[in-house]
């Protein structure tokens, strides 16, 4: 076995070409070809009908909403929508495929020839060309019992759950992505991320990577120079997180460079991604892959979407993530780098809602990208999964804006909210953190501080405002931080002027 | 002749009249047919399953509803037999194959739902060639069905069980399915009536698929009117079948009643030049010519039409059918239902599938799966499946052109009368040739009817085929009923009266 080549070294000597197939499970209520619920997490083999089990005599009927969702995806990816297209049978025997063929689309996809712009970490835009987007059905799920790590190898027996069988999928296939060079892993990750955001914005899927709603197969090949013919590619299957997409491409580049350096040819094959080790392993060799014997599905009639309907769908498309980000950045007046951080942190919606709850864009960003981002990082959770709502953050900021608490107290209130003590107002009252806004106690404290530090008092009275901080600090200390430092300063200056 | 025997000789329409008039109960009618089955099916073997208790319960239910004054379907209470390729909830359904032995479907086919809703007691499931692959019912995994006209001869296929059951008075009505002639050819060789409706005219939901683009369920009866009554009941749009026609059926019963008056003035009858001559028995052709004369006498205009591409129909059919069948039959793998054969060593899923299919399928099924798999293979697809689809288009065009000069087209249903059991079993090509006249209708999706047109020189029934344009099934019934009336006038009654009486169980026991 060849050794891995250091990535930086590999990309210096080889040009990387990638191609990505993304499967997204559509969030329709029922399956692609029957009325069984397309749910998640149900008891095994309960979300089924004779159709999803492929029982003898059962027939498929196309889910109209799934077709609409597929068209939505196609339009958002700037694709042409087919005048007419057919389903085809992809024939292969496997226990999780109830009919032993998958109903898919072959040479007549619903959407073809499009593109999507992908924003990279440095803010630059990379355009990915889309070959096609087609509809198909998901397979069931095998669980292998008795072997190591749930793999089929060495298992005593396997269980099949057909709940997932027949869930509508759209598969999006890119053209070969060239010109990314060393940044190919990043482009791959950003592309999948862009699609995920798109699916959510289009409301066609919950697009939760951890549930397998979005799955990526990554094709990688390398060649000596960008002008060379394409190298032999490998296809790494089921890479199911953004980070893994990036790592899988990186690993394959290093691995393939090692093989080529040894003067050995790359084998065209399917490889499996191992999350734990961050490596890919050889799977099925493509040259003896099955012949799927595709032919048009005779149980279904062609789909010929009405042009007027397509235009109606186009007109109803929501604002897409990239356009929305541009608009919000303008409205919020964030710098490019600030906006990018917000996007990368997944905080766009959170900040938007916080602003809607009354906070200024700057304040909203300060909370989410500051205190809350730190907390999320400490707790190793996503920002959105913190036990605080954007509305609560908005309420918190309003308390600050109204002068009822200062920043320091606000952090304590937030702590209470995160600890589940209730809304900011509730925490504030319960913890007795309200800013002392009554001037009486403040004046008493100022007088006491001036009396305690006569030297400083004298300097201030003589017009040297340098040491006012010392008096203010003493007042803050006396009021346990619950005073508004600005108000203390005002009162202090008035007192001295008297 | 006992009262029960008399009941079994009546047409479904006549039984329906007696039931409506409350001269007889459905329980009596159903019991009479169950008795007849018990009497003669040992010799015929038309049934794979007899569901006597369920049929009598359904009959009692219909009688109670009638007694309560409920408005019922015209055929309510008339029992029926169903080909075993149609799934019936709670009643074993095997499609004539070992691979489905013991399979009890958890759901009803749409047409079975309609039969049940209309109150037709289901007598049982009829024998057939395995997965409807065959023209003699000899490919059933459960033994031969015998032709009531001559027990040494085939009853046709694949729906030999349904045709024989109706011909032997075991059922007044039956359901068949027709992929290349499996309703019409058995009707022809048993002296009964069979109709393949327009493709999409009867729901395929719940039909165990042979070739999805060709399969169609239809009536098997003793009279043209009975077929019309049954066709109207099972036909019409079904949202569970995407290929189902979303339009009302034409008025079929009315067309049959109109035809029975024997007047065909102004009807243009096209004789298909390519479906006669070489390969057709002289007796078959003679009966065909006599029927044409009768039609002419009734006022029909007889014209000759040419359908030049019909010559290629058989070849195209034997690529399209196996291709679709190879995929449709992939689901029989021992994983979810039916037979499971577990090899002793290393029983992986793949090896279980392989062993199950190896033991579960018969030779003809394997032959066609292999053919179809090959025809769809990369590198061969265009030459085989692709070319066959082109031929199909040409045949459709032939029909379109022919229907410009004729309202209906006619031909002998099958080139020969019933052959002997075993005669063609070792010669698949000879067997396939039996469907040469019926296959074009399936390739084009047009409807076809076969009715008896007399006996050939060998004393066996001959079938007369009527074809109509898609969605004009009413024309079959008008012309069919007219010819039936004219022929029965000549014969002095139905052709089946000329069939030999079967030895009953009682006599057989003597």
User: Same domain for A187 and A81?
Assistant: yes
What is the residue-averaged pLDDT of chain B? 96
Provide the pLDDT confidence category of residue B422 given band limits of 50, 70 and 90: very high
Three-state SS across A172-190? EEECCECCCHHHHHHHHHH
Decide if A56 and B239 are in contact by the 8 Å CB cutoff. no
ipTM above 0.90, yes or no: yes
- Enumerate residues 234 to 253 of chain A having a beta carbon within 8 A of any beta carbon in chain B: none
pLDDT at B371 over 70: yes
User: In terms of Cα–Cα distance, which of A351, A360, A33 is closest to A165?
Assistant: A33
Mutation target to probe the A interface, by most A beta carbons within 10 A, among B91, B111, B205, B353 is B205
Number of structural domains in chain A: 3
Residue B508 has pLDDT above 70, yes or no: no
Per the structure, the complete domain to which residue A461 belongs is given by 439-497
- Which B residues 106-125 touch A at CB under 8 Å? 106-107, 109
Q: Which residues pair with A128 in a beta bridge?
A: A116
| pLDDT bucket at A440, cuts 50 / 70 / 90 | confident
Which residues have CB under 8 Å from A161's CB, separation 6+?
A44, A45, A140, A141, A143
pLDDT by residue (tens digit) across A187-218?
Answer: 999 999 999 999 999 999 999 988 899 999 99
Of A56, A61, A300, the CB nearest to B87: A56
Model confidence at B510, in pLDDT bands (50, 70, 90)?
very low
Give me the helix-helix angle, B160-167 and B26-44, nearest 10°.
120
Please indicate whether, in this complex, the C-beta atoms of B378 and A293 are within 8 angstroms of each other: yes
**Residue B391: in which H helix or E strand, if any?**
helix B387-405
pTM as predicted: 0.89
What interhelical angle do A468-478 and A454-461 show, nearest 10? 130
Question: What single-letter DSSP state applies at residue A37?
Answer: B
Query: Does A414 reside within a domain?
Result: yes
Considering the domain B3-310+393-509, what is its CATH architecture?
A: Alpha-Beta Complex (3.90)
- Residues B372-393: what's their mean pLDDT? 94
What value does the mean pLDDT take over residues A440-444? Answer: 81
Q: Which residue from B444, B412, B462, B471 is spatially nearest to B180, judged by alpha carbons? A: B444
Distance CA B379, CA A404 (A): 79
Among A373, A407, A431, identify where a domain stops. A431
Q: What is the pLDDT of residues B182-195, one digit of tens each?
A: 999 999 999 999 99
Is A55–B327 a contact, with Cβ atoms under 8 angstroms apart?
no
Which among B206, B326, B332 has the least Cβ separation from residue A57?
B206
Residues from chain A that touch B373, judged by Cβ atoms under 8 A, are 293
- Show which of residues 70-99 on chain A sit within 8 Å of chain B, judged by CB atoms: 89, 91, 93-95, 98-99
Residue numbers in B near A158 (CB within 8 A): 349
B339 touches chain A (CB under 8 A): no
Which of A398, A414, A431 lies at the terminal end of a domain, its last residue? A431
Regarding whether A11 and A35 lie in a shared domain, the answer is yes
- The catalytic residue positions of B are 83, 158, 182
Please give the DSSP secondary-structure letter assigned to residue B41.
H
Tell me the β-bridge partners of B153: B420
**Beta-carbon separation of A56 and B205 below 8 A:** no
How many CB atoms sit inside 10 A of residue B292's CB?
18
Identify whether residues A90 and A210 lie together within a single domain. Answer: yes
Residues A447 and A408 both lie in one domain: no
Query: For residue A157, what are the contacts with CB-CB under 8 A and spacing of at least 6?
Result: A144, A145, A146
Task: Tell me how far apart the alpha carbons of residues A161 and A32 are, in angstroms, rounded to a whole number.
Answer: 17
Which residues are CB-contacts of A58 (< 8 A; sequence separation ≥ 6)?
A: A34, A49, A50, A51, B107, B205, B206
Q: How many CB atoms lie within 10 A of CB A463?
A: 7
Q: Does A62 touch chain B (CB under 8 A)?
A: yes
Same domain, residue pair A187 and A236? yes
For an interface test with A, which of B95, B322, B376 has the most A Cβ atoms less than 10 Å from its Cβ? B376
Do B242 and A59 make contact, defined as CB atoms within 8 angstroms?
Answer: yes
Helix (H, G, I), strand (E, B) or coil at B268: strand
Residue A451 binned pLDDT confidence (cut-offs 50, 70, 90) = confident
Flag whether pLDDT at B509 surpasses 60. no
Lowest mean per-residue pLDDT among A267-276, A308-317, B167-176, B252-261:
A267-276
At residue A437's C-alpha, the angle toward residues A434 and A441, to 5°, is 105
Confidence of residue B1 (pLDDT cuts 50, 70, 90): very low
Q: Are residues A140 and A106 in the same domain?
A: yes
* A113 domain-assigned: yes
Q: How many CB atoms lie within 10 A of CB A418?
A: 17
Q: Hey, are the CB atoms on B242 and A62 less than 8 Å from each other?
A: yes
Q: Do B327 and A91 touch (CB under 8 A)?
A: yes
Q: How many helices (H) and strands (E) would you count in chain B? A: 18, 11
Distance in Å, alpha carbon of B132 to nearest chain A alpha carbon:
13
In this complex, which of A59, A98, A101 lies closest to B241 when CB atoms are compared?
Answer: A59
How far apart CA B143 and CA B139 sit, in angstroms, is: 8
Determine whether B14 is exposed, middle or buried from the number of CB atoms within 10 Å of its CB (0-12, 13-18, 19+).
middle
Query: Are residue A145 and residue A280 in the same domain, yes or no?
Result: yes
Asked if the structure places residue A337 within a domain, the reply is yes
Tell me which chain B residue has its CA closest to the CA of residue A53: B336
Give dist(CA A200, CA A206) in Å, integer: 6
- How do residues B75-111 score in pLDDT, each as one tens digit? 999 999 999 999 999 999 999 999 999 999 999 999 9
**Residue A54 at interface with chain B, using a CB cutoff of 8 Å:** yes
Q: Express each pLDDT in A217-275 by its tens digit.
A: 999 999 999 999 999 999 999 898 999 999 999 999 999 999 999 999 999 999 999 98
Longest dimension (CA), chain B: 72
Distance between CA atoms of A328 and A340, rounded to whole angstroms?
Answer: 12
Indicate if A164 and A78 belong to the same structural domain: yes
Cβ neighbors of B39 (< 8 A, separation 6 or more) are B502, B504, B505, B506
Start-to-end C-alpha separation, chain A: 88
Please state whether beta strands A234-239 and A269-274 pair in parallel, antiparallel, or not at all (unpaired): parallel
Within a domain: residue A276? Answer: yes
User: Closest approach of chain B CAs to the CA of A87, in angstroms?
Assistant: 12
Query: Chain A contacts of B332, Cβ < 8 Å?
Result: 56
Q: Which of B327, B337, B383, B443 to mutate to test the interface with A (most CBs of A within 10 A)?
A: B327
**Nearest CB neighbour to B377, from listed A61, A293, A300:** A293
A94-123 pLDDT, tens digit per residue, is 999 999 999 999 999 999 999 999 999 888
Domain assignment present for A354: yes
Residue A412 lies in a domain: yes
Residue B388: what are its φ and ψ, rounded to 5°? -60, -40
- φ, ψ for residue A276 (rounded to 5)? -65, -45
Domain end: A264, A289, A313, which one? A313
Give the Cα separation of B388 and A424 in Å (integer).
74
Looking at the complex, report in whole angstroms how far the Cα of residue A156 sits from the nearest Cα belonging to chain B: 10
Q: Check if A160 contacts B (Cβ < 8 Å).
A: yes
Tell me the C-alpha to C-alpha distance, in Å, between residue A398 and each of A116, A360, A363, B413, B475. 40, 9, 10, 88, 81
Are residue A273 and residue A328 in the same domain, yes or no?
A: no
- Verify that A53 and A162 share a domain, yes or no: yes
| B346 CB within 8 Å of a chain A CB | no
One domain, residues A267 and A181: yes
A98 contacts on B by Cβ (under 8 Å): 331, 336
Q: Considering only CB atoms, which chain A residues are within 8 Å of B240?
A: 59, 61
* Cis check: omega of the bond before A99, within 30 degrees of 0: no
CA angle at A215 for the pair A209 and A216, rounded to the nearest 5°? 125
pLDDT digit string, tens, across residues A30-73: 999 999 999 778 899 999 999 999 999 999 999 999 999 999 99
Residue B492's pLDDT band (boundaries 50, 70, 90)?
A: very high
Q: Smallest Cβ distance to A93: which of B105, B323, B330?
A: B330
**How is chain B split into domains, by residue range?**
3-310+393-509
CA-nearest residue of chain B to A157?
A: B348
Q: Are residues A386 and A266 in the same domain?
A: no
């Amino acid at each position: 076995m060849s050794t891995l080549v250091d990535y930086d070294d590999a990309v210096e000597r080889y040009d990387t070409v990638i191609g990505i197939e993304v499967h997204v499970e559509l969030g329709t209520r029922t399956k692609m070809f029957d009325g069984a619920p397309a749910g998640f997490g149900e008891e095994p083999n309960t979300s089924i009908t004779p159709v999803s089990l492929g029982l003898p005599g059962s027939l498929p009927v196309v889910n109209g909403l799934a077709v609409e969702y597929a068209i939505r995806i196609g339009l958002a990816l700037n694709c042409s929508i087919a005048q007419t297209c057919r389903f085809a049978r992809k024939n292969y025997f496997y226990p999780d495929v109830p009919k032993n063929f998958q109903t898919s689309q072959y040479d007549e996809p619903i959407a073809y020839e499009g593109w999507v712009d992908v924003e990279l970490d440095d803010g630059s835009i990379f355009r990915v060309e889309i070959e096609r987007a087609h509809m198909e059905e998901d397979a069931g799920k095998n669980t292998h019992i008795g072997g190591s790590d749930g793999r089929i190898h060495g298992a005593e027996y396997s269980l099949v759950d057909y709940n997932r069988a027949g869930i509508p999928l759209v598969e999006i296939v890119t053209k070969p992505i060239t010109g990314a060079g060393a940044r190919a892993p990043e482009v791959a990750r950003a592309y999948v991320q862009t699609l995920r955001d798109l699916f959510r914005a289009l409301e066609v899927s919950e697009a939760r990577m951890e549930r397998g709603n979005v799955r990526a197969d990554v094709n990688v090949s390398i060649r000596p120079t960008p002008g060379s013919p394409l190298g032999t590619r490998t296809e790494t299957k089921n890479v199911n997180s953004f980070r893994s997409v990036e790592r899988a491409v990186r690993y394959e580049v290093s691995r393939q460079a090692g093989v080529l350096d040894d003067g050995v040819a790359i084998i065209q094959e399917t490889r499996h991604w191992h999350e734990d080790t961050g490596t890919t392993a050889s799977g099925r060799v493509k040259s003896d892959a099955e012949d799927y014997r595709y032919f048009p599905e005779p149980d279904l009639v062609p789909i010929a979407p009405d042009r007027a309907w397509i235009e109606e769908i186009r007109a109803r498309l929501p604002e897409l993530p990239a356009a929305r980000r541009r608009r919000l950045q303008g409205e919020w007046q964030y710098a490019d780098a600030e906006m990018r951080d917000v996007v990368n942190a997944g905080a766009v919606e959170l900040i938007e809602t916080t602003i809607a709850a009354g906070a200024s864009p700057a304040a909203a960003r300060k909370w989410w990208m500051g205190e809350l981002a730190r907390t999320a990082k400490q707790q190793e959770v996503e920002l959105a999964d913190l036990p605080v709502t954007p509305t609560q953050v908005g309420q918190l900021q309003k308390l600050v804006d109204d002068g009822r608490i200062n920043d320091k107290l606000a952090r304590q209130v937030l702590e209470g909210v995160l600890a589940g003590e209730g809304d900011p107002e509730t925490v504030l009252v319960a913890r007795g953190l309200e800013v002392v806004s009554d001037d009486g106690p403040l004046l008493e404290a100022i007088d006491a501080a001036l009396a305690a530090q006569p030297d400083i008092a004298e300097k201030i009275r003589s017009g040297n405002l340098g040491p006012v901080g010392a008096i203010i600090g003493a007042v803050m200390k006396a009021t346990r931080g619950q005073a508004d430092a600005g108000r203390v300063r005002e009162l202090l200056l008035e007192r001295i002027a008297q | 002749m006992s009262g029960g025997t008399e009941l079994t000789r009546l047409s479904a329409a006549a039984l329906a009249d007696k039931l409506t008039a409350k001269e007889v109960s459905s329980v009596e009618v159903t019991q009479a047919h169950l008795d007849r089955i018990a009497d003669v099916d040992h010799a015929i073997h038309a049934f794979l399953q007899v569901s006597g208790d369920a049929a009598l319960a359904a009959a009692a239910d219909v009688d109670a509803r009638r007694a309560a004054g409920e408005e019922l379907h015209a055929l309510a209470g008339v029992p029926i037999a169903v080909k075993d390729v149609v799934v019936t909830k709670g009643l074993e359904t095997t499609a004539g194959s070992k691979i489905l032995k013991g399979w009890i479907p958890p759901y009803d086919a749409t047409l079975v739902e309609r039969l049940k809703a209309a109150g037709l007691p289901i007598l049982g499931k009829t024998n057939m060639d395995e997965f409807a692959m065959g023209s003699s019912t000899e490919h059933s995994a459960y033994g031969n069905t015998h032709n009531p006209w001559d027990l040494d001869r085939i009853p046709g296929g694949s729906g030999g069980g349904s045709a024989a059951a109706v011909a032997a008075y075991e059922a007044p009505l039956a359901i068949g399915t027709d992929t290349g002639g499996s309703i019409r050819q058995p009707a022809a060789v048993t002296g009964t009536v069979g109709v393949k409706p327009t493709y999409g005219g009867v729901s395929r939901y719940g039909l165990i698929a042979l070739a999805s683009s060709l399969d169609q369920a239809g009536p098997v009866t003793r009279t043209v009117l009975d077929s019309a009554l049954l066709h109207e009941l099972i036909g019409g749009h079904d949202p569970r079948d995407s290929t189902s026609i979303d339009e009302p059926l034409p008025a079929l019963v009315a067309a049959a009643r109109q035809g029975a008056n024997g007047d065909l003035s102004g009807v243009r009858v096209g004789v298909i030049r390519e479906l006669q001559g070489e390969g057709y028995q002289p007796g078959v052709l003679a009966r065909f010519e006599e029927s044409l004369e009768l039609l002419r006498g009734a006022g029909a205009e007889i014209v000759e039409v040419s359908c030049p591409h019909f010559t290629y129909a058989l070849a195209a059919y034997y690529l399209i059918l196996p291709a679709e069948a190879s995929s449709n039959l992939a689901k029989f793998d021992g994983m979810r239902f039916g037979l499971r054969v577990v090899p002793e060593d290393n029983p992986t899923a793949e090896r279980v599938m392989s062993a199950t299919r190896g033991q579960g399928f018969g030779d003809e099924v394997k032959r066609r799966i292999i053919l179809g798999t090959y025809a769809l293979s990369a590198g061969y697809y265009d030459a085989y499946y692709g070319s066959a689809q082109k031929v199909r288009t040409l045949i459709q065009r032939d029909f379109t052109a022919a229907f410009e000069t004729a309202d209906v087209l006619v031909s002998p249903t099958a080139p020969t009368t019933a052959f002997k059991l075993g005669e063609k079993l070792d010669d698949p090509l000879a067997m396939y040739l039996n469907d040469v006249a019926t296959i074009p209708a399936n390739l084009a999706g047009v409807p076809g009817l076969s009715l008896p047109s007399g006996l050939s020189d060998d004393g066996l029934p001959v079938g007369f085929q009527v074809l109509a344009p898609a969605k004009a099934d009413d024309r079959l019934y008008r012309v069919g009923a007219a010819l039936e009336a004219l022929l029965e006038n000549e014969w002095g009654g139905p052709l089946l009266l000329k069939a030999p009486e079967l030895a009953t169980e009682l006599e057989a026991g003597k």
